[in-house]
Amino acid sequence: MVVLHHLALRIPLRDTALGDILPRRLLDALSYNGYEAVFVFFVVSGFLIASHSLRRWGSLSSIDLRAFYVRRAARILPCLLLLLAVLSALHLAGVPFYVIDGKGQSLGGALFSALGLHLNWYEGRTGWLPGGWDVLWSLSIEEVFYLGFPLACLLVRGRMLLIVLLALSALSLPLTRAALAGNEIWQEKAYLPGMAAIATGVLTALLVERWQAPRRTARLLRLAGGLSLLAVPLCGRELWASFGNGYMLVLTGSAAMLIAGLQPGGAGAPMRALGWLRAFGRLSYEIYLTHMFVVFALVALYRHGGSDVRSGFWWYLPLLALC
């Protein structure tokens, strides 16, 4: 969804010939829900980090601080540092789509904010960065959460107290978004709303550690979670009218239900035919960080060739194949 969103901003899917065939609501759902997709990723990320920690150390209060940070650094830094080096070289070479030229922005400022895990705040203060840099806003939120997460687990020794704190964070999502309504960029990219989604994933991991849903219950969770997740992009206007910023809780809660229903014992054996999809999941970090290179290359070819927007939907096929 994030990948489709970034191409749709430049080649609107609803303006192509598909707009004559498919409902506009469906095309918009595919095109303009990248932000919501990132929040689903936050929930999944929180679940994976917490469940891996539970399997490795037995409980969150037994986390090995050094080992946790080393594992996170080994996962994050190699690809991040390579990306920053390439983006910096493209900026210095003056390559279109990659030059940082916004008011109050600079290459040094972007590098410092990316490495200092506050690129989201940098954008909230100075405006949008070029797309290849912009994707790093969510990484800033994730890694700040994971800097504090093991410390909180070690300091808050009681499991129930930790659950209460995580639940308060998870439920704060609509409140923190509403409180930031004056700044569009900061409302989208602030720390607390994103951390609320990650906390939802951690809570889900703690739940499934102690409770394995019976097969029938798991099916109901998958059905309810899947339908609710579909409702957010397809019926976003109606959900907003009914719940306001609370529609984000529908999103994160739906993701949590789907994850809980997909756990071993409730979901049956993994389908071999979906192995390619699981591979995409394992490479989601690398795909997310690098997909703008593909988007910008395709947009450049599209514009250089003078393509008609009516046939613009064809450019989505190589995008999906290459990402």
The answer to whether 285 and 79 are in contact (CB under 8 A) is yes
Long-range Cβ contacts of 64-67 (<8 Å, 24+ apart) = 65/150, 65/151, 65/154
pLDDT digits (tens, 9 = 90+) for 203-219: 999 999 988 888 899 89
Q: Is the pLDDT of residue 5 over 90?
A: no
pLDDT digits (tens, 9 = 90+) for 91-116: 999 999 999 998 999 999 999 999 99
Q: Is the pLDDT of residue 315 over 90?
A: no
Find where tokens 């809980």 sit.
260
Where on the phi/psi map is residue 318: left (φ > 0), alpha (ψ -120 to 50), or beta?
A: alpha
Closest CA to 79 of 284, 280, 286: 286
Q: Is the pLDDT of residue 135 over 60?
A: yes
Sorted by where each begins, the domain ranges of the chain are: 1-32+280-323, 37-211
**Where do the DSSP E strands lie in the chain?**
none
pTM over 0.75: yes
Please list, in sequence order, all residues whose beta carbon lies within 8 angstroms of the beta carbon of residue 212, skipping any fewer than 6 positions away.
263, 265, 266
Assigned token pair, 136? 């790093």
Find where tokens 């840099």 sit.
133
pLDDT of residue 276: 57
CA distance 216 to 133: 44
CA distance 200 to 211: 16
Q: Is the pLDDT of residue 273 over 60?
A: no
CA distance 209 to 10: 43
CA distance 244 to 142: 25
Assigned token pair, 284? 């989601």
CA distance 108 to 282: 31
Closest CA to 8 of 36, 29, 23: 29
Q: Is the pLDDT of residue 148 over 60?
A: yes
pLDDT digits (tens, 9 = 90+) for 216-245: 998 999 999 999 999 999 998 899 999 999
The answer to whether 80 and 114 are in contact (CB under 8 A) is yes
Share of the chain above pLDDT 90, in %: 69
The answer to whether 15 and 316 are in contact (CB under 8 A) is no
CA distance 167 to 178: 18
pLDDT of residue 274: 58
pLDDT digits (tens, 9 = 90+) for 64-79: 999 999 999 999 999 9
